Structure formats: structure tokens, C-alpha cells
Structure 1
């Protein structure tokens, strides 16, 4: 990350050239950001909302690991089909119940309180999950985890997006979803380690279940060390508070900072223009051509994140490995753990390149690569089954294709997705748009939870053909309907969808200049 100069692409034509060019007000003192105390502290604080993603990653990997533990299988009666799907979807059921609540909390209480309250519920859910005495109690605890998790997850990337230093925002938001893999790595190796506690020791699955509450507990304790979103404060006409936050964390206490003056002006004008031209309800998404385009993107992106075949490796890796003859519990746990480490390394590296490559190029690179690797994966699986799994090299080849597929998935559908969605949404619609994204993603997860285990059990490798077709359609969507957004501030992205009027006309700008001088 660099705090001096963002990419120049897209700025020359933005709102009439220099009028909204943030490059003109960025400090050019030659000091790297990590030597500036205010930026270092701000970026360190971002770890707190990141932990919402870490908890999500822990959940998926933990369920993979528990399914490979004979202790867990024995205790819950070897669940299969829809019974297994219900456990995988228990979190989803809880999320569905939270959908009406999460955006209301974000819009009316700020971005921090939902993270606090959702994380507190997650801690309780993890304790109940650990203490489960039967299938029903385990399912209920997972529903509570899903309910609290969605409330925390919806506000977390919004807080990072709206609080981050302008030139750091794309990378910081990109890292948000990458931290999913930190939780996945820990869960994979914790379940691997507890597996060896003994065949009759139920703490082998209770310990990983309890530890799911560790990261939410950290969020409960530390979320209020992070300031509130200045864009939320402006939306609530608390401009004075918003400016103080920007002065402290973006300008290092410089009350006369040209950057802060620019940011406040841009935020105020964009929000006031949006308020004058529209409402903040869900129907706003179908009232203009620009908002319809946004609606398309925020529905398609989460579907791509969940329906590109990754649901198989996230929650049902053990079924894939069983299908190619790799049935040993420790072997499956090691592959799961190694895959999570690989995913984390790739996703962090690719997120760091986001401002160089751009969002659209990474989406195309990702989807095309996934298609190629899935085709090879399918062919190897088919041949392996025809030979009754006697050729070990074919099984190794499938595992290699799983790793290659994950490389491409993490290149474009992990970090860039959250960056892209939060960028295309204006402040007044960001909470509701994020909720729509979560609803679309949840629908896809419900499909994964029930269809994947049933289809894999019934038709094994032939099921992969469905995802080959889905990924091919995704490539078409990205090519024709995903505009590039790199090099623009949050407010400038609105120009792509709404045209020149998105940031207000000169008269409105002059009106707000006076108001800004007083905030």
C-alpha cells in the first residue's frame, strides 16, 4: 500500500477533470504509511472487523474437519444426504432470520454496534455447539451462530470500506475476505490435532466447536477501539464528528488538511445529492438504470462466489476425496489443512495486486482459469472411477486440479468481490445492498448445502459438469457487464453508474462549501 499516489486511470475524466481529483490533495512527503502513526494504528485496527470473515472461514473448515472425524460421525449417527445438508445449512437458517435486522442495525445504530452484538451471539452459539448432546441441539447452535454471524458480517466490510485511507481502501477491503482462510487454516489443523485424542473422546469435536467463539470474543472486547464510519456520521448529519475522525486518522491531527477538506466535501455532496434525488428503500434499486446495473452486480457476484464449484471444497471436501479413493481420515484432514494454507497465501498475494491489475481483469482471469481447471478435474475423476481407483496418479492429479482451481478462485472471487460490491454501492444504499448480496449468497449456499452432498452421492464426477456450465456463463457476465472501478474514490465510482450528476452540480458544490467550512 502507498499513501502518496493512487492509480491515475479513470481520474482524468472524473467529474470534469481536476474538480474531484484526489491526487491533488494527497500528501507527497515521501514518508511510507507504516512510519505514520495515525495510518499504522488505523490499519492495525482494521483487523477487528476482519475477524468476522475469519470466523466464517473457521466454520466452513471446521465442518469439513468434523466430517472427517470418526468421533463426530459416530456421535451424530453418520449423517448423510439431507440430514448432513441441514447441519451444513444450519448457519444459513440463522442468517435468513437475521436478514431483516442486519441492514436496519447498520443504518440506524452505525457500523460498530452490529459487529459487537452479532459477535456476542456468536460466542453464545459456540458455547452451545460445544455442549451439544444431540443432533437437534447441534443444529440449533449453528442457527444461532448464523444469526449472529450475519449481523456482524454485513457491517464489517462496510466499516473497513468507509473508514479506510483512500489509497489503502482497495487492498484493505480485499484482505477482508482473505482472512476467511486464516480461520479455515486454524480450524483445519485444530480438527486434525484433536482427531488423535482417541476414538471415543468427544472432546475431539467439542474443542474445535468451542474455539469458534474465540475470534467473536475478541471483537466484543475490542470493536469500540475502532472509530465509527465517517460516511455513516455524515448521513446522520453528524458532520462535526465525521470530520474529527478524518482529521485524526487520515491527516494525523492536521486541522487544515487539504485531504480532509476534499473528503468531507466529496462525501457531503454525494450523500446530499443522493438524498435529494432518491429514497433509501429497497425499491430504489429498480428506479434508475444505474441502480439496476448495481442490483445485477450485487446479486451475480455472491452467486459467483458460491456457485462456481467452491462449495464442494469448502464444506464437502471429504466427499470429493472419498469419490477418488482417498478415504483415510488423517489423509483427508492433512489435505484440508494444506489446501487452506495454500488458499490464504494466494488470496493475500492477489489482493495486493488489485490496484495494479484492476477488478475486471482479475474477475476474467479467475473465471477463465476456473473453467479450464474444472474441465481437467472432471476428466481425471471420470477416468479414475472407470479404473476403480487403482491408479494413484489419477487421484493425485485430481488433488492437484483442486489446488489449481483454488488458485484461480482466490485470484478473483475472494478478495476482489467484496471490494467491488462495496465500491459500486453509494453510501445511502450500501447497507441494504450488502443485505441483498448476503441474501443472494445465502440462496446459493442453501443450494450447495442440500444439492451438493445428494448429487455427489448419486452421480459423483458427473455433477462437476453442472459447474463447468455455470462458470462458462459467469465469464460472459463479467465480460459484458462488469465495468472497471480501480483508481477511483468511493464517491467517484458513482460516475460510472449515474453519470456526471452523481457528485452534484457546481451550484450544489458551492452551497456545501460554506457548510463544510463550518464542520
Structure 2
């Protein structure tokens, strides 16, 4: 067990992310593909462009609300119960969409499904970050985006094969399939352990110790690793609660917390302004714009959808060795080059008869998705899940996710009109945003790889009550109150000027 059990928990917890990816791909992979057929638009009386945009926007709106509510429920109910609630809501939303007899019923299902994935989006990454060892935390949290990508790609293939079905089955069957992972997650969550850090936060120490022991059962128990891991987490949480983070408002009143929040929000905004969602949601329209017709649009969408999972696997191979900051920075540089080429080729060959030029335009769309998934796709969730302290992690992550969702909603609503009004010039907006993002990643984003969630506080100038880099560890005199010793050597004290508390820094 041990590491394999931890990996299994991470994979299973991200089943909800598969639902998110699959459901997020509905508009492009199922709804958008079926818009090219007769059954879907005919059944709903040929929805207008505004109503088509509303199908995307209502989903995103529900997701934004779910983000904020998820931040509260993640602390109140715990990570596990919040994921379970989201899975149930996703199931109900899927049933409503599948059985829809009116556009109103369909939209309600979309809103509910969006709310569900808003709940699970941030909480799943937090859960994986809180159970993962530092050396493989990037991989385990990044598994969430791999499942999102696989769900997204699956929706493309199912939507395409669904186009061969007759009548309403062409769109009802693909919509109904999303019920399967929701049911699996609902049942399986009964066996998934709660986050040990949340249990400690709630004072459930025996349960937390048992979970940590199970997560690290592959390590020699004679090394006392489990006890030291438990002590590290408990002492840091106690220190933050008693000295540095006495309420949620510390997120805004404390300089280091404001910096973390700014970085999290910037990362989410940069992700949305790469242009990825615009290309994802409206790619079938873009393919048609360069001369692709009929079912060939659907097959191209399937190929495009595979770029994410392939590139994401590559990203997971280096994320814990190279880190987070540099891949994000160079990914943004790559997107600047790619969007420049996409802009030029769209200007010259969209609507033309030049088959070679049109082929290159499509190729730049494919490479856009590939480059995006080499950096942003996995790393944005990893970075945001690990930079916040335990007391603020759930709600701060929710705020970042909400800002990202709101930014995406804005672009989803504006993009159809923007493409109709200014065409290829719309890409210039994303080109500029990618350049700004690259500069910010190089200049102001700190690296977080290899550190425990508690030690990351040091990066932002906060005090660490207990360090993982020690064989046998001890801490005392935190915030003026004796915390006890286990027997380590104290190598330095640092004063927390914001709170007049003393924290001990300990090394191996």
C-alpha cells in the first residue's frame, strides 16, 4: 500500500474531474458537433447564436457559483463530502440534460452540472495536494487535469460516433453517458479517506493520524516518519490558527496572503486569456471557416481533443523535476509564437481556396492546444492548490477559480460576436495577453516544487513552525506558548513581525 494507495486515492478523487472534462466538452464535443446535424437544432427549434452562447454561459455561470460555494463547503463539510455532493449534483444535471424536452429544461441541467463541476474543480486539486508527498505532488495534483483532458477528448469521440445514430439518440446518448462516472464516484467515495490536513484542522487527530499512516504505510514504520509528518502538519496549523491566521480576513489583511491571492488570480486570468476556451468551444466554427465541411469537422475535433492528454502526460513527467514557474513562462512564450502564426494564417487563408494554407491554419490550432497543455493545463491547478496555507486554502482557491470562471464566461459570451465583427484580428487580444503572462511568470512568480505544503509559507516570508527537512524534529516557543520538543537541533529563529511571535526554523 502506501504510495500506491495514495496514487489510487488521487486517481479516484479525480473521477469528478473526468465528469468536468466530459461535461465541459459538451458544447464543442457533443452540443457543437450535433449542431452540425439535423436532430439537435431541430428539436430545440433552431437556437439562435445568442441562445447557443447562453448554453455555454449558463454552464459557466453555474460553475462560478459552484466555485464560491465549494470554497465554503470544502472547509465546512470537508474535502470528501464536498466531492460526493458535487457528484450527486452532476448526476442530476446529466439526467436533466439527457431527458430534456424543452430548452428551459436543458438549460437547468446545464446550470446544475456547471454548479457541480464548480464544486469539484478546486476541491479535488486541494484534496490531492493535501494527501500527496512533496516529491510527487505535482504529478498527483496534475492527474486532475489529465482526467479533465481525457473527459474532454472522450466527449469529442462519443459526440462524433453519436452523429451516426438516428434521430434524438445522436445527442441524448452522449449526454447520458456522463452519468456513469458520476455513479462510480458517488459509490466509491464511501471508501476514500478524508484529507488528513482537514481532519487536523477540525481537531480529529486520531483519524488524521490513521489516514497518514495508511498513506505512508510503505515507509519503514520504525523511522517514526508518520509521527513526524503528523506533528509537522499539526504544529503548522496550530501556529497559523493561533498566531498568523486568526480569521478568513487574513487573506486580505496580511501582505503575504494578499500576494498569494494575487498570484492565484493572475494565473487563472492568464489561463483564460491564452484563448484556449475560445478555440475549444468554437473550434468547429473555426474549422468551417478554413473550408472544412461535413463530418470532417467532427473528425478534426477528435484529433484536436487528443492534443491535451498527450501533452499533459509529457508535462507530468517533468513537473516535479523542473518545477512550475519556468514551464508556465516558456509555455506562454510558445503561445505568443503560435498565436502570431495563427493570426497571420487566419488572415491570409480563412475563406480562401488555398488548401495548403488552410492546412497550416488548422495545424496551428492543434499546436496551440499542445503547447497550452505542456504548461498551463496541469500546472495552474498544482500551483494554486499549494501556495495557500491550510486555514485559507479552500476559500482562497475558490476565489481564484471563480475569477477564472468569470473571465472565461466573459470571453465565451463575447467571442461569437467578436469573430463575426473583426475576424482574425480577435487573436491579437490573446497574443498580447500571452506576452504579458510570460513576463509575469519570469519576474514575479516564485517556485514551489519539492517543498511540503507547510514549508511553502517560507517562500512568501511567513514563518514555518515545523520543518520537514529533519530526521527527528522539535519546535518550541511558538507565539510565546511552549509547544514541546521531540529532540531536534534548532538552527535559527525568525520573528514574525506581523504578530510578534517566534517561529523556529529547523533543518536536517
Scaled by the length of structure 2, the TM-score of the pair is 0.89
CA distance in 1, matches of 2:215, 2:452: 17
- In structure 1, the partner of 2:478 is 508
- In structure 2, the partner of 1:68 is 33
Displacement of 1:93 in angstroms is 2.3
Work out whether 1:222 is the aligned partner of 2:188: yes
CA distance in 2, matches of 1:496, 1:51: 32
Work out whether 1:49 is the aligned partner of 2:13: yes
CA distance in 2, matches of 1:395, 1:127: 40
Displacement of 1:86 in angstroms is 0.8
- Point out the more displaced range, 43-52 or 483-492: 43-52
Alignment of 1:387-466 (within 5 A): 388-466=351-429
Q: Deviations over 1:328-378 (max 9, x none)?
A: 2x1111111111222101111111211221111101111000110000011
Displacement of 1:254 in angstroms is 5.9
Q: Is the 8 A contact 1:384 1:390 kept in 2?
A: yes
Rate the CA distance shift 1:269–1:357 in 2: closer, same or farther, 3 A: same
Q: Deviations over 1:220-244 (max 9, x none)?
A: 0101211111100111111221111
CA distance in 2, matches of 1:459, 1:502: 55
Work out whether 1:345 is the aligned partner of 2:313: no
CA distance in 2, matches of 1:243, 1:253: 15
Q: Is the 8 A contact 1:125 1:145 kept in 2?
A: yes
Please state whether the residue corresponding to 1:228 is helix, strand or coil: coil
Please state whether the residue corresponding to 1:240 is helix, strand or coil: helix
Q: Is the 8 A contact 2:219 2:225 kept in 1?
A: no
Work out whether 1:476 is the aligned partner of 2:439: yes
Q: Is the 8 A contact 1:67 1:73 kept in 2?
A: no
CA distance in 1, matches of 2:126, 2:422: 41
Q: Deviations over 1:117-170 (max 9, x none)?
A: 111011011011011112111111100111222222232111111112332222
Alignment of 1:308-347 (within 5 A): 308-328=274-294, 330-347=295-312
Please state whether the residue corresponding to 1:490 is helix, strand or coil: coil
- In structure 2, the partner of 1:382 is 347
Q: Is the 8 A contact 1:173 1:418 kept in 2?
A: yes
Q: Deviations over 1:377-427 (max 9, x none)?
A: 110000013xx4200111110111112111211111011111111111111
- In structure 2, the partner of 1:27 is none
- In structure 2, the partner of 1:123 is 91
Displacement of 1:303 in angstroms is 1.3
Displacement of 1:87 in angstroms is 0.2
Q: Is the 8 A contact 1:306 1:441 kept in 2?
A: yes
Task: From 186, 209, 215, give the equivalent of 1:243.
Answer: 209
CA distance in 2, matches of 1:371, 1:253: 45
Rate the CA distance shift 1:144–1:515 in 2: closer, same or farther, 3 A: farther
CA distance in 2, matches of 1:98, 1:281: 22
Work out whether 1:149 is the aligned partner of 2:117: yes
CA distance in 1, matches of 2:49, 2:129: 39
Rate the CA distance shift 1:72–1:462 in 2: closer, same or farther, 3 A: same
Scaled by the length of structure 1, the TM-score of the pair is 0.87
Work out whether 1:495 is the aligned partner of 2:463: no
Alignment of 1:295-310 (within 5 A): 295-310=261-276
- Point out the more displaced range, 54-63 or 484-493: 54-63
CA distance in 2, matches of 1:131, 1:420: 39
CA distance in 1, matches of 2:440, 2:403: 16
Q: Is the 8 A contact 1:59 1:184 kept in 2?
A: yes
- In structure 2, the partner of 1:28 is none
CA distance in 2, matches of 1:355, 1:254: 24
Q: Is the 8 A contact 2:27 2:281 kept in 1?
A: yes
CA distance in 1, matches of 2:60, 2:303: 26
CA distance in 2, matches of 1:341, 1:512: 52
Q: Is the 8 A contact 2:308 2:373 kept in 1?
A: yes
Q: Is the 8 A contact 1:85 1:449 kept in 2?
A: yes
Please state whether the residue corresponding to 1:483 is helix, strand or coil: coil
Task: From 218, 221, 227, give the equivalent of 1:261.
Answer: 227
Q: Deviations over 1:186-223 (max 9, x none)?
A: 1111111110113xx01101111111222121110101
CA distance in 1, matches of 2:293, 2:263: 40
Work out whether 1:84 is the aligned partner of 2:52: yes
Give the root-mean-square deviation of aligned CA atoms.
2.1
CA distance in 1, matches of 2:418, 2:24: 19
Larger RCO (CA under 8 A, 6+ residues apart): 1
CA distance in 2, matches of 1:319, 1:503: 54
Task: From 199, 203, 214, give the equivalent of 1:233.
Answer: 199
Q: Is the 8 A contact 2:273 2:430 kept in 1?
A: yes
CA distance in 1, matches of 2:261, 2:66: 21
Displacement of 1:322 in angstroms is 2.0
Displacement of 1:105 in angstroms is 1.5
Count of aligned pairs between the two proteins? 475
Rate the CA distance shift 1:268–1:254 in 2: closer, same or farther, 3 A: same
